[in-house]
Homo-oligomer: A and B are copies of this chain.
Amino acid sequence: MDVFGFLNLNELALGLSNLSMFPYFDMAHYIISVMSLREQPGALEVSQRSPFACWFSSMLYCFGGAVLSALMMADAPVAPLTNTTNLLLASLMWYLVFYCPLDAVYSLASVLPVRLVLTVMKEVTRTWKVLGGVTQAGRKYKDGLFVMIAVGWAKGAGGGLLRNFEQLVRGVWRPETNELLKMTYPTKVTLLGSVLFSLQQCHFLPIQTHHLIFIYTLFIVTNKTRMMLLGSSSYPFSAVESLLYKTLFVRPLTFSPLTDSTPSCLSSPFHNKPNGSASNKPDQTDPKDAESSKKTD
C-alpha cells in the first residue's frame, strides 16, 4: 500500500505496532472499565454490600475478553490470574476508583479531558486484543476464518458479551437484553476489526499487519473521540447497516405462516413480560444501557 510510503507513514505505523500496552495503556483500560462498572445502576450499592463481588465484577470487566476467548479455545479461564502484575494493577485501579478517600480518583478521571485521554488509550488496547485473539486462534486452527473472527471478537469485546453473567455476580438479572440482541457500538466495531484482521491473516486482504493496525486504531480512536465530544452515539456505518438490513432481512410478504406468526405476536407481550416490566418501559432502561456500555468495552 504505497500511500503509506507516499505519506511517510511507514515508520509511524511500525512504531505503533511495536507499542507496548503495559503498563500505561493497560492501566487506562482498567480505570475506564472499572469506572463504567461503577456507573452501572446498583454497582455502588454492591460495592458497599459485598466488596468481593464488586472486585470479581471488575475483573470480569477488565479480563472478560481473555476469560471468554479462553473458554472458547478450551484454554484454562483462570489463566488471567497467572499474570500477577496485571491482576494486581487491575485490583489497585478497582480499589482506587471505588474506595479512594474523598473519591479523588473517580472525580479526577471523570473530568472530560482526562476521561477522553484514558478512553482513547483504552481504545488502542482494543486493537491489540483483537489481533491477539485472531492470531491465537490462527495458531490452533490454520485458516479457520470463522474461528479467528469469533475468538478475536470475543477477546476484544468479551466484557460486553459476558454482560448477563457479570450482572449475575452483582445479583442483577436482565434476560431481556444482551449484546447479541442489541449490539452496542464497542461490540460492533470490535466485530468489524476482528473480521478485518482475520481476512488479513488469511491473506484475503492485501495489506501488511502494521498498516492495518494503524488504520484500524486510527479509525476507532477518531470515532470514539467524536462520539465523546459530540455526545452522539451515531455509528459511521449505520447507513450501510440499515441498507443491508432492509435488503436482506425484511419479513417476506406472506400469508400461510400467519398461523404461526400470530402465536408469536400474541405471545410477544407475554413472553417479554417476565423479563419485562422492562419491556414496558424500554426507554427507561435502554438509554442507560447504551450510555453505560458505550463507555464500557
A-to-B contact residues, CB < 8 Å: 32-33, 35-53, 56, 61, 70-78, 81-82, 84, 87, 99-103, 106-107, 110, 119, 126, 137, 140-141, 144-147, 150-151, 156-160, 163-164, 168-187, 190, 227, 233, 245, 248-254, 256-257, 260-261, 263-279, 281-282, 284-286, 288-290, 292-297
A-B contact pairs, 11 of them (CB 8 A): A38-B260, A42-B263, A42-B271, A45-B271, A50-B180, A71-B77, A102-B253, A103-B257, A185-B294, A186-B297, A270-B281
Task: Select from chain B the residue with minimum beta-carbon distance to A254.
Answer: B103
- Cβ–Cβ contact A278 & B289, under 8 A: no
**Chain B contacts for A48, CB-based, 8 A:** 249, 251
Task: Select from chain B the residue with minimum beta-carbon distance to A64.
Answer: B297
Copies of this chain present in the complex amount to 3
**Chain B contacts for A266, CB-based, 8 A:** 41
- Cβ–Cβ contact B76 & A41, under 8 A: no
- Cβ–Cβ contact A176 & B282, under 8 A: yes
A53-B187 Cα distance, complex, nearest whole Å: 13
